[in-house]
Structure 1
Amino acid sequence: MASLAASIDFSERSVRRARLGSGLIMFVFISLHFSNHALGLISVSAADEGRRLFTALWRNPLGTLALYGAIFTHLALVLRSIYIRRSLVMPKGETAQILLGLAIPLLLIDHVIGTRIARALFHYRDDYETIVRQLWINVPGNGLRQVIALVVVWVHGCIGLHYWLRYRPWYQNIVAPLLAVAILVPVLAILGFIEMGRTIAEPAYEGMVDTGRYEANLNTRYLTDPAAQAEIAMIRVGLYGSFATALLGVVAARGVRRWRERVDQITVRYQSGESIQVPRGFSVLEASRLAGIPHYSVCGGKGQCSTCRVQILDQYEDLPAPDKLELSTLKRINAAADVRLACQLHPNHDITVVPLLVAAAETALPANTQETSPGREREIVVLFCDIRNFTTLTETRLPFDIVFLLNRYFALVGNAVEKAGGRIDKFIGDGAMALFGIGSSPEQACRQALVAAASIARDIEKLSDELSEELSLPLRIAIGIHTGPAVVGTLGYGRVRSTTAIGDTVNVASRLETAAKEFDVALVISEPVAALAGIELTGIESREISVRGRALPLKVYMIPRDKAAGLPEGSA
């Protein structure tokens, strides 16, 4: 069973990699092709000079094999993915990507015939002057069709690229410039085509270039010989017919499978009372989508996240064992034996499930709100700080004086965190929580958090000296810092929404801030923070403290006030 699961996992991974690799080859091709179109903004001759380099890259035997191998591989795998889907109910983004992908062959077959195939069979010169003249002057309807094809191809490729990159930690840092490029490339390509069309349509253009080559091109067999026209017509019918046959074959195969599965169905029940009958072989996620039951699946049902996980309420021992991909995800989140990924679980009998991350139905949300994001897991650093003995400090002060003091305190904490490169998550009473590492490496985030802590310690001392005559006790700070994985997402309701972090890392950081008070020090950091930051801690006391929810004690470093204020000077 284990070897079978491993082979299946390897097969699916290989299929995904083949689809991604073929898609990337085609995306490189269209990026270079559209950039070549954009040279038309300079001149027709500039575009043709760029075309020579472009064709040298893609019309040699190796380039041809790579391009057309990628096209047929990608198309075959797309049709396969449509067939293996047990339900065609899917998120809008995936639907758009599939529909745009299926429209591409219909929009581009004639263009391929009129360029690559005509040149290969009849030595038709498919340079920019000839093709733009055909599309802009002779048959402008085909020109409009090519503009639509350009946009469809580009949008389809960008959606696929986004789905591939969206969970990379660095992607959010470059998504804005990538969006600008994604908009500029097709716009410049279309403007280049328009500029070349207007230039060629000018009467003066005929006197500026050697039109004899163009006239000779018009007399090729491709345009004049009825036998050649019949051959081209047969190729056109063959290509359109092959694509239509493949697509109809997938639809027919799905129909046959559905007819056979009608007699072999199971029932998926939900703790809320809903239930749905689906053919055996459907995943729990597909059953939820088919029933219209909101169900999170941030990775799109590929087993690469745990947001779709469900708890099985009955006979989970009899279910198919998780494959390698699902098992690795379940181990990562320390899931119990009765917890499975809905996208990977294909039950073989009736089951009752409870989605562990409950998604709100879109129609149930009031106006001007949106569904809360389940977030993504990141390696971050969490800093908690708090004023010690705050109740004693403020019990005899007027409310407006307390507000003044808190605002001064919040300002210095917020300034220290932002200057160090972090972000304030929230203020709670006289406490604050800050996050580091959302857009940087864990090592850099640890150093940033320590810089912020030192700055807070120094500024609190200055504020305490400034207000010494008004305060019954000097201001003293307690700070805790820990690093590790946490889910970072947008939480809240309506307009009261903010990006925050949840998870064990946050709880441990809060516990370290409490430990700073217990041991009468300004700063407590965990051993992972010290190791990643690379700071010198000679002479700093270390302890092992227990943290609720953790089986083993955690080694921490107790840093007194005087050393906390000068900490960055000793950092690596």
Structure 2
Amino acid sequence: MRLKLDISRKRLHLITGLGLGLFLLTHFLNHALGLISVDAMEKGREIFNLLWRNWIGTTLLYGSLFTHFVLALDSIYRRQTLRMPPREALKIIFGLALPFMLVPHVVGTRVEWMLSGYAASYYEVLPNLWSRPSDAVRQSVALVFAWSHGCLGFWFWMRGRAWYPRYQLLLYTAALLVPVLALLGFWVGARSLEGVTASNTWFKPERTDFALLSDIRFWIYMALLGSVAGTLLLRALPVNGKIRVAYPDGRSISVARGFTLLEASRAAGIPHISICGGRGRCSTCRVRIIEGMEGLPAPGDAERNTLSRIKAPDNVRLACQLRPNHNVSIAPVLGAENVGVSTAPNPEESAGRERRIAVLFCDLRDFTRLSQQQLPFDTVFLLNRYFEMIGEAVEGAGGVVDKFIGDGALAIFGLSTGIETACQQALNATTRIARSVEILNRNFMSELDQPLRVAMGMHAGPAIIGHIGYGRASSLTAVGDTINAASRLEGFAKEYDAQLAVSADLIRYAGLPLAGHESYNIAIRGRAGTLETLIIYKAEEFEPLLAEKAAGPAVPLPGRQ
């Protein structure tokens, strides 16, 4: 039942968000007509009113706004502790601030129209707002906040779609242009009415009494404040009873039934790592249930999928998802106490950050056989030359080497650039590596029974970037599904005796065409669905393509040589 309710909340959030987004888009486009003239704004307002000033549009708009606000309050009510990372707190504060910022505008336009039938025109609204600079600033800030909130929601919703990379630049451009044009139209329209003062037009006998509108604003503010305060009060009431959570160091805390284990740790000030912020998108908060396993709520779909991916045993659960209904004893799997760290990591290191990056795995083929034929010192010398070559190629292309693993290397691109540039840098690195391996083979020709060969795998997408490790072994690294996929693609390249297996996502991000090479939809262990992958037999083939990309329109990828 809880899972079904969570799904219903998500669907309601999505539907109401789309309704509000459509309203904002049409409203801001109407503002942008001010770049032409105020008359154009008025003609656009007629179309806008046809869409939104009828019972269907009014129900959709205010139903969506009300539901969105209620869902935010519900989220606060279900959150058992208000101790959280600053980023989570800012997200909640911004979401709740929007209704308060919009009250004066809503009352001055929509409420008055509903009470008296009087629809204030742009000829009246613009001079009134710009006669008081504070009102104009407040309205502009509300516009930016509302549009940014909607764009972020759209991005989180659409970023995983297969078609999104192809239209990302177009969508990003539109996301920037709409508020900029709206604010410019707002300003230009007001400037064109500089000779018209608010006193000339704003107060008319047929309009609703100003004192009544002021009272309405006051009571709306009170209702909003009361709902927030009431939510905080309700969640503070001990209505669910108490349970105890015991930790490995002997600490035991008492919390209300309904807390997640992550919320319980935060409420008691106990360090508990959670990179994704408690949304079930990672497994860093997982705990081992020492006592009290029987009778615990079963994992929901999100928790079950994450635990399945890491092959967790039955007694391991996600702290951000499990709400125990009786006393339990737990041990955080990745907690500070379990690795002997006496102090908690700083917020930046423990929280990490999510970025879209390009990942390159590079591995030597048949290195085990090669190392058996070489003297140990010769093997070490050859490996060091190989690693030096990898490092120079990666850094020369603009990336960083994350780590060397045996005879393999992991490189990351995009820590300080956009995803498009990162993918082009990663492809450039593969061509450098391929050329360097040829040079290495020539230099060691007399010592090698057969030439060195590399297999590379590349993928692009979201990953968690943060300092991971202990003591001097701690370093900046990346974790996530993107890393796992790139590693699997390196093995896929070996299967096809190719230099490179690269995901179609990375090629699209780089702005190159997909045609001309063998393409496979492969299943990756621990990952839902398949991943479209291209087999590249000679990585140097990308060199002219990247040059063409920099110089002009892309050309088709050549076939296998």
**Fold shared by both chains (TM-score > 0.5):** yes
Q: Which of residues 74, 84, 95 in structure 2 aligns to 1:90?
A: 84
Post-superposition Cα deviations, 1:409-433, rounded to whole Å, max 9, x if no partner, equal 7657888xx79xx996555686544
1:81 alignment partner, one of 75, 85, 93: 75
1:224-280 Cα deviation digits (max 9, x unpaired): xxxx4565456445534443443343234234x33x45xx32222222444422112
Number of equivalenced pairs: 506
Provide the residue aligned with 1:147 in structure 2: 140
CA contact (8 A) 1:372 1:492 kept: no
Change (3 A) 1:240 1:193: same
Query: Counterpart of 2:320 in 1: which secondary structure?
Result: coil
Q: In the TM superposition, what is the alpha-carbon distance from 1:80 to its structure 2 partner?
A: 2.0
How far 1:161 sits from its partner (Å)? 4.5
When normalised by structure 1's length, the TM-score is 0.68
Q: Secondary structure at the match of 1:317?
A: coil
Structure 2: how far apart are the matches of 1:320 and 1:436? 41
Deviation at 1:339, TM superposition (A): 0.7
Amino acid corresponding to residue 187 of structure 2 in structure 1: I
| C-alpha distance after superposition, 1:58-97 (max 9, x if no partner) | 2233322211121121122222222222222233233223
Q: Is the 8 Å Cα contact of residues 154 and 186 (structure 1) preserved in structure 2?
A: yes
Q: 2: CA distance between counterparts of 1:129 and 1:16?
A: 41
* Counterpart secondary structure, 1:222: coil
1:130 to 120, 124, 127: 124
- 1:472-483 maps to which residues of 2 (within 5 A)? 472-473=447-448, 476-480=451-455
Task: Specify the code of the residue in structure 2 equivalent to 1:373.
Answer: G
Contact kept, 8 Å, 1:265 with 1:280, in 2: the verdict is yes
1:490 alignment partner in structure 2: 465
Q: Which residue of 326, 333, 349 corresponds with 2:326?
A: 349
Partner Cα separation in structure 2 for residue 215 and residue 116 of structure 1 = 21
- 2:331 matched to 1:331? no
Give the whole-Å Cα distance in 1 for the aligned partners of 2:155 and 2:102: 23
1:10-409 residue pairs with structure 2 within 5 A? 10-137=4-131, 139-158=132-151, 160-161=153-154, 164=157, 185-201=178-194, 203=195, 218-222=203-207, 228-229=209-210, 232=213, 235-255=216-236, 257-258=237-238, 260-261=239-240, 264-358=241-335, 370-371=349-350, 373=352, 382-385=361-364, 389=370, 392=374, 407=388
> In 2, distance between residues paired with 1:276 and 1:570?
64
1:426-465 equivalences under 5 Å are: 426=403, 431-433=408-410, 460-461=437-438, 464-465=441-442
Distance 2:342 2:176 in 1: 29
On the 8 A contact 2:273/2:335 being kept in 1, the answer is: yes
Judging changes above 3 Å, is the alpha-carbon distance between structure 1 residues 377 and 141 closer, same or farther for their aligned structure 2 residues? closer
Q: Give me the whole-angstrom Cα distance separating, in 1, the residues matched to 2:336 and 2:33.
A: 48
Q: Return closer, same or farther for 1:341/1:564 CA change in 2, 3 Å cut-off.
A: closer
* Distance (whole Å) between structure 1 residues aligned to residue 162 and residue 37 of structure 2: 41
Distance of 2:167 and 2:270 partners within structure 1: 34
- C-alpha spacing 1:81/1:372, structure 2 compared with 1 (3 Å): closer
1:132 shift after superposition = 0.9
Q: Distance in 2 between matches of 1:237 and 1:273?
A: 52
Query: What's 1:546 paired with?
Result: none
Q: Which has the larger radius of gyration?
A: 1
Q: Distance in 2 between matches of 1:406 and 1:468?
A: 15
Identical aligned pairs, as a percentage?
A: 35
Asked whether the 8 Å contact 1:383–1:482 carries over to 2, the reply is yes
Counterparts in 2 of 1:290 and 1:413: CA distance versus 1, 3 Å: closer
Distance in 1 (CA, whole Å) between partners of 2:61 and 2:234 is: 29
Amino acid at match of 2:115: L
Write out per-residue CA displacement over residues 191-223 of structure 1, whole angstroms, 9 at most, x where no aligned residue: 43333333322x4x79xxxx9xx9687434215
From the superposition, tell whether residues 86 and 163 of structure 1 become closer, same or farther in structure 2 (CA, over 3 Å). Answer: farther
- C-alpha spacing 1:242/1:281, structure 2 compared with 1 (3 Å): same
Q: Evaluate the alpha carbon distance shift between residue 174 and residue 273 of structure 1 in structure 2; reply closer, same or farther with a 3 A threshold.
A: farther
**Cα separation, 1, equivalents of 2:334 and 2:53:** 51
Shift in CA distance, 333/499, structure 1 to aligned 2, threshold 3 Å: closer
Contact 1:386 1:479 in 2 (8 A): yes
CA distance in 1 between partners of 2:318 and 2:60 (Å): 36
Residue type matched to 1:354 in 2?
Answer: A
Tell whether the 8 Å contact from 2:361 to 2:409 is kept in structure 1 after alignment. no
Amino acid at match of 2:37: S
Displacement after TM superposition at 1:131 (Å): 0.3
Q: How far apart, CA to CA, are the structure 2 residues paired with 1:496 and 1:366?
A: 14
**2:230 maps to amino acid:** G
- The code of the aligned residue for 1:287 comes to A
Shift of 1:340: 0.9
Q: Which deviates the most, 453-462 or 189-198?
A: 453-462
User: Could you list the runs of 5+ residues in structure 2 that have no partner in the other structure?
Assistant: 505-515, 527-534, 542-556
Distance verdict in 2 for CA 1:107–1:489, change over 3 Å: closer
Task: Write the deviation string for residues 116-167 of structure 1: whole angstroms up to 9, x where unpaired.
Answer: 2222332323221110111122x54433432343344344445545555677
Please state whether the residue corresponding to 2:84 is helix, strand or coil: coil
Q: Aligned AA for 1:335? A: A
CA change 1:359–1:24 in 2 (3 A) is farther
Q: Could you say what secondary structure the match of 1:307 adopts?
A: coil
Contact 2:262–2:285 (CA under 8 A) maintained in structure 1: yes
* Most deviating of 390-399 and 46-55: 390-399
State the Cα RMSD in Å. 5.5
Q: How far, CA to CA, are the matches of 1:68 and 1:398 in structure 2?
A: 70
Q: Deviations over 1:270-313 (max 9, x none)?
A: 22444422112211011122122333434443434433221111
Distance 1:492 1:474, change over 3 A: farther
Would you say the 8 A contact 2:107–2:217 is kept in 1? yes
1:247 partner amino acid: V
Question: Does structure 2 retain, via aligned residues, the 8 Å contact 1:383–1:509?
Answer: no
How far has the Cα of 1:455 moved from its partner?
A: 9.1
Q: In structure 2, do the counterparts of structure 1 residues 525 and 147 end up closer, same or farther at CA, with 3 Å as the change threshold?
A: closer
What do the CA deviations read for 1:502-539 (whole angstroms, capped 9, x no partner)? 987787788899x99xxxx976999x99xxx98499xx
Cα gap change, 1:297 to 1:34, in 2 (>3 Å) = farther
Does the CA-based 8 Å contact 1:386-1:432 persist in structure 2? Answer: no
